[in-house]
Chains A and B, each alone.
Chain A
Amino acid sequence: MAWKHKHLLGLEDLSREDIELVLEMAKSFKEVSSRDIKKVPALRGKTVVTLFFEASTRTRISFELAAKRLSADTLNIAVNVSSTSKGETLLDTARNIEAMSVDAMVVRHSLSGAPFLLAEGLKCSVVNAGDGCREHPTQALLDMFTLQEKFGRIEGLKVAIVGDILHSRVARSNIWGLTKLGAKVTVCGPATLMPRGIEQMGVDVCYDLKQVLKQSDAVIALRLQKERQQDKFLPSMREYSRLFGINQSKLNEASPHLIVMHPGPTNRGLELSAEVADGKQSVILDQVTNGVAVRMAVLYLVLGTKTE
């Protein structure tokens, strides 16, 4: 099975075999991080730039560590833009950076589709680290890696995604990836934050969190952006927490084998109670660990791809 993608823009574009290849490769790269000397020379001489137009700590650091453990040179650029209409800055900035002989650009931007603009306008590889509400492919890959690690399979798993589905790129990438690998996905959240036509992505919709928890093997809680209340999508944070927050008592009614995931950073007490976030069923820190391995695999694969 050969990898033939120069870019990773989203899981929509990947086949089941592509995803399985990333997960397989991540397994061997995970071992590197457990060594005394956490470095392999796979990408020596390559330059990887992280270009973030949105604040991020975890994802950026994870990519940086992944590149460094593969011996690539890294450069991190955080661009402060408040307005989404600054797309021209994106392409201009990227072209300037690329002119300094960059091999891969890891990009996060608030515009859905921004990586397409770059992939079209640049010669180097583009890895999407989150674009608007569209996709966050490496997050979904690390979620799937974690699920595979915990359950030994993804096929047939029942996975719930809970929260603000409308604005979530994590939800969309997970829906693409999980359904391609044969998991059964249910989305759950307030009706005002449930995008129209989401069923057509091959998921079930349910508004009853308790029922969803009862029938699931794993639940991915999404981070709720506080501004959603200002946008009047929600009556109050309190109401959200009552209906869609996951706490221990709701968890007690579900299977003890249910695992709890979150892309981070968590709003403790809102979408997850502190005891759940830190509890036995939480795999949140495993996700963070696996993120580095998965991103190593992604960088290795896109940079190893020769394109005409």
Chain B
Amino acid sequence: MGLLIKNAVIVNADKMEKKPQDILCEDGKITQIAVGIDAGTHEVIDAAGKKVLPGLIDIHTHLRQPGREDKETIETGSRAAVKGGFTSIMCMPNTNPVIDNPMVVEFIIREAKRVGLCNVYPIGAITKGQKDEELTDMGELKAAGCLAFSDDGKSVLNSRLFRLSMEYAKMLDVLIIEHCQDPLLTSGGVMNEGAVSTRIGLKGDPAIAETVTVARDIEIALYLGAKVHLAHMSLKRSCELIRMAKAQGIKVTAEACPHHFALTDEACSSFDTSTKVNPPLRTQEDVEAVKAAIADGTIDCIVTDHAPHTKEDKEVGFDGAPFGLIGLETSLALTLTELVHKGIIDLSQMVDKMSRAPARIVGLEHKGMIRQGFDADIVIIDPDRTWTVTQEGFVSKSKNSPFIGWTLKGLVETTICGGKVVYKV
């Protein structure tokens, strides 16, 4: 017995269907897409009036397990993911212990399977212990299940080591994801350096900390003919550099986060520590540039950079609080509200940014599209239904969101992963 989605208006990255069809999912795969499929003994979901999208894929999440289970676990993170419409998430290696050996990779995969809500793909560390000293055994980590590598949370500052990691990753055909931020330039900054940081007396993190690293990474990618994926781009100038690089055929891809197109550094003047994020919230000019770069393809995909922190950790004043905000449960609605409903991208482009492109970038075959033979990862949304973000509404273990109180337009109704309903509103 399979799962039959009736009256589905399918939105793929390349096409938004006009007429409703039925989608049959069997044994974790999409086995048939047609009009009027016989229900037989199948479990039936009626998607009339909704939009049916391939399950969202977030290639930048922090699940905190192992190590900081008080902030998030694979279980609570998975629940937040499917509530937000994600069927596949990739978790960053800055856990404790760091994801730099196969045992941690296997633990995460096993635990995610036990939870059984969504696919979880661990990202391996580039350097052992994320210490910027020696490369991890990437080949072994790939065999254990790592599709991508990153020292996220910080840059690989040692340029020689970074070059070596890209050469090595090229050989293994895995992706290097770089957190672009030169810590010597950041030098303890806690928000964007500019008129707002000057006004409120918080230490500024200058734009050049990001852009010099973006420029360096593009140059290394060009020199090696290797791929590099640039995480959470937040600046106008970063977008310009990537646009130039792409025009020259350099194999660079890039991602952006909803908070970098929904908020500016003005938000920090409330001293609300959930606005303290890395890279920091930038200026209105940057927000406009990031939106334009998403629309014109300079930015390939949208990621959450879901970074849960406890109330205790965040309630210590702006300087002392850790960086990061949660995003799994709000990213789709923020993207719909800020980009789709404002006409910056259409629904198909959104599916590209949040499902098809991430699948392509990390090499997840059979994901990111609703098509016969593909994995039965599907999300049914009502793009026009409004809801208000509340602290109590979050299923994530942490509540550090600057969007509490916002009314957003676009709601996940049903999430299906591997042909199984894993979330219903």
> Which of B194, B270, B312, B318 meets A112, CB within 8 Å?
B318
- For chain B, what secondary structure do more than half of its interface residues adopt (helix, strand, loop), or is it mixed? loop
CA distance A88 to B311 in the complex (A): 11
Give chain A residues whose Cβ lies under 8 Å from the Cβ of B193: 196
Q: Is there a chain A Cβ closer than 8 Å to B319's Cβ?
A: yes
Within 8 Å CB of B343, what residues of A? none
Residues of B close to A240: CB separation below 8 A: none
Additional A-B contacts beyond A83-B320, A113-B318, A200-B199 (11; CB < 8 A): A85-B316, A86-B316, A87-B317, A112-B201, A113-B271, A132-B202, A132-B319, A196-B197, A197-B199, A200-B195, A201-B198
The reply to whether A198 and B320 form a contact with Cβ atoms under 8 Å apart is: no
Q: Chain B residues near A68 (CB, 8 Å)?
A: none
Determine the distance from Cα of A12 to Cα of B270 in the docked complex, in whole angstroms: 13
Q: Is B27 an interface residue (CB 8 A)?
A: no
Task: List 29 A-B residue pairs with CB atoms under 8 Å apart, sorted by A's residue number.
Answer: A83-B320, A84-B317, A86-B316, A87-B316, A87-B320, A87-B321, A88-B312, A88-B316, A111-B317, A111-B319, A112-B202, A112-B271, A112-B318, A113-B200, A113-B202, A116-B271, A117-B271, A131-B201, A132-B201, A135-B201, A195-B197, A196-B193, A196-B197, A197-B194, A197-B198, A197-B199, A198-B198, A200-B198, A201-B199
- Counting CB contacts under 8 A, is A60 at the interface? no
Are the C-beta atoms of A114 and B317 separated by less than 8 Å?
yes
Closest Cβ of chain B: how far from A217's Cβ, in Å? 25
**Residue B134 at the A interface, CB < 8 A?**
no
Q: Is B258 part of the contact surface with A, judged by Cβ < 8 Å?
A: no
Number of B interface residues, CB 8 Å?
Answer: 23
Q: How far is the CB of B318 from chain A (nearest CB, A)?
A: 5
- Give per-residue flags for B294-327: 1 if the beta carbon is below 8 A from chain A beta carbons, else 0: 0000000000000000001001111111000000
Specify the main secondary structure of chain A where it touches its partner: mixed
A91 within 8 A of B: yes
Q: CA A200 – CA B195 in complex, angstroms? A: 6
Q: Using CB atoms and an 8 Å cutoff, list the residues of chain B in contact with chain A.
A: 193-204, 206, 270-271, 312, 315-321
Inside 8 A of A133's CB, which chain B residues have their CB? Answer: 201-203
Shortest 10 CB-CB contacts between residues of A and residues of B: A87-B317, A134-B201, A197-B195, A85-B320, A87-B316, A133-B201, A113-B271, A195-B198, A112-B201, A200-B195
The listed residue (A90, A135, A169, A196) touching B317 by CB distance below 8 A is: A90
